[in-house]
């Protein structure tokens, strides 16, 4: 009986060892298949979301960033274009302020040199009014 028991134990050990190897191999295959399936499902999800966003008119993050960069460039070019114009306007303003400050002095001296002449007002001729004679 001990011999039968030893054979039985050997048989169980052999099955267990073989089963472990088979189970390990099967678990690795399942793990690899699940990784591949996860990647496929993720790609499918991303594709469907992009299609739906495109139909709804949503902009992608890359497109929004490109527009932000373009706006920043345009603002910088506007500032660059306005800087010389602002400097020219400031020079014109300063020049007109100088001219305006010297203009009143010139008019004052001109006013002193040529006094205004007073022209006598003409009187309107008196109208002749007929006088009624009163009967006595």
Q: What is the pLDDT of residues 47-92, one digit of tens each?
A: 999 899 889 988 888 999 999 999 999 999 999 998 887 777 777 8
Examine the pLDDT at 126 and tell me if it is beyond 70: no
**Domain count along the chain:** 1
Whether residue 124 is contained in a domain is answered as no
Q: Within a domain: residue 83? A: yes
In a domain, 98, yes or no: yes
Residue percentage of the chain with pLDDT more than 90: 31
Question: Residue 86: which domain range?
Answer: 2-113
Q: What does the alpha-carbon distance between residue 79 and residue 87 come to, in Å, rounded to a whole number?
A: 12
Whether 99 is covered by a domain: the verdict is: yes
Residue 109 binned pLDDT confidence (cut-offs 50, 70, 90): low
Which is more confident, 12 or 62?
62
Evaluate the CA torsion angle 67, 73, 77, 78 in order and state its sign.
Answer: positive
Residue 40: pLDDT over 70: yes
Domain assignment of residue 129, yes or no: no
From its phi and psi, is residue 57 left (phi > 0), alpha (psi between -120 and 50) or beta? left
Does residue 127 lie in a domain region? no
Q: Is residue 34 part of a domain?
A: yes
Looking at the domain assignment, is residue 22 inside a domain?
yes
**Cα dist from 72 to 17, 65, 68, 80, whole Å:** 68, 11, 6, 12
The overall average pLDDT reported for the chain is: 79
């Amino acid at each position: 009986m001990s011999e039968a028991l030893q054979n039985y134990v050997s048989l169980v050990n052999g099955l267990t060892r073989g089963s472990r190897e088979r189970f390990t191999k099967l678990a690795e295959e399942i793990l690899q298949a699940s990784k591949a399936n996860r990647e496929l499902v993720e790609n499918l999800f991303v594709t469907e979301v992009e299609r739906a966003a495109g139909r709804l008119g949503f902009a992608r993050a890359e497109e929004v960033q490109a527009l932000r960069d373009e706006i920043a460039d345009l603002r910088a070019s506007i500032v660059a274009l306005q800087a010389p114009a602002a400097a020219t306007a400031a020079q014109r303003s300063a020049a007109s302020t100088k001219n305006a400050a010297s203009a009143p002095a010139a008019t004052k001296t001109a006013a002193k040199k040529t006094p205004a002449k007073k022209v006598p007002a003409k009187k309107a001729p008196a109208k002749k009014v007929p006088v009624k004679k009163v009967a006595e």
